[in-house]
Amino acid sequence: MHIDIISVVPGLLEGPFSHSILKRAEEKGLASVRVHNLRDYATGKQKQVDDYAFGGGAGMVMMIEPIARCIEALQKERTYDEIIYMTPDGDTFDQSMANGLSQVENLLILCGHYKGVDQRVRDLFITKEISIGDFVLSGGELAAAVVADAIIRLIPGVLNDETSALTDSFQDGLLAPPVYTRPAEYNGIGIPEVLLSGHEAKISEWRFEASVRRTKEKRPDLLKGTGWE
C-alpha cells in the first residue's frame, strides 16, 4: 500500500511515520508513506496557500489552485482508490472503515487547516471525508496519522503476530478482554485461574465472556442487535 499525504505542516508528520510499526511496515516493503508540502505547489513569492473567505468572517480558507496542482501532479504517478479529506465534518472513522481502507493499493490524504478548504476542492477531487471524532484539531495532520496507523497495522505481515490485529477491540464488534502478564500474583492480587490452566478451549470461552461483560459495562451501544445484550 502507498499513502500520499498533502500538508501545510509536513513536519508534524515526521514523528509518527519514523517510529515503530509504521517504520517496520516501510522497511518490510508492505507500506510506504510520503508527505508532500502543499507550499511546494504554491506560486508567487509568498507561496500563498490560503486566503480570506468570500463573504467575510474570521479565518482563512485553503485555496483550490495549489491543492489542485498537487493532486494532479500526484495523480500522474498513480491512480488513487480514495482521495480523503480529513475534516471534523466527515464520516466518523471506526474499525470497519479501517478494515476497508487496509485493503486498497493507493490512498491520497489531504489535511485541512485554518477554516478548511475551498468547497470546490471537496466537490472536484475528494472521494471520502473522514473525521476522527467530534472535536476540532488545529489541522488534519494528527488525524491523518491516526488513520494511517490504524490502516497500516491491518496489512497482513505488518504485525509480527498476525493474529494480534484480529483480536483487537472492535474487530469482532466487542471490546477486547482483560489481559495479564507476569507476575501471576502482585501484592496478593492474583489473576483469573483459567488463564493458568493451559486449557485452550476454556481460555477462549473465558475471553469471549469477559469481552461481552466488558462491552456491556463500557459500550452497551456496541451490543445492540447482536443477541449478547
Residues lying near ligand ADE in the complex (CB under 6 A):
86-88, 112, 131-133, 135-137, 140, 143
Of the pair 114, 208, the CB lying nearest ligand ADE is at 114
Residue 128 C-beta-side C-alpha neighbours within 13 Å: 19
* In contact, 141 and 13? CB cutoff 8 Å: yes
> Closer CB to ligand ADE, residue 86 or residue 159?
86
- β-sheet bridge partners, residue 82: 107
Q: How far is the CB of 118 from ligand ADE (least distance, A)?
A: 16
Smallest separation (angstroms) from ligand ADE to the CB of 204? 36
Residue closer to ligand ADE, measured from CB, 54 or 135: 135
Strands, sheet with 2-7, edge to edge from the N-terminal-most edge strand: 32-37, 2-7, 106-111, 82-92, 128-131
Ramachandran angles phi, psi of 198, nearest 5°: 75, 5
Rounded-to-5 percentages of helix, strand, coil across the chain: 40, 20, 40
CB of 183 to ligand ADE, least distance (A): 41
Q: Which is nearer to ligand ADE, 66 or 140 (CB)?
A: 140
Give the shortest CB-227-to-ligand ADE separation in angstroms: 33
Which residue minimizes CB distance to ligand ADE? Answer: 143
Distance CA 176, CA 127 (A): 32
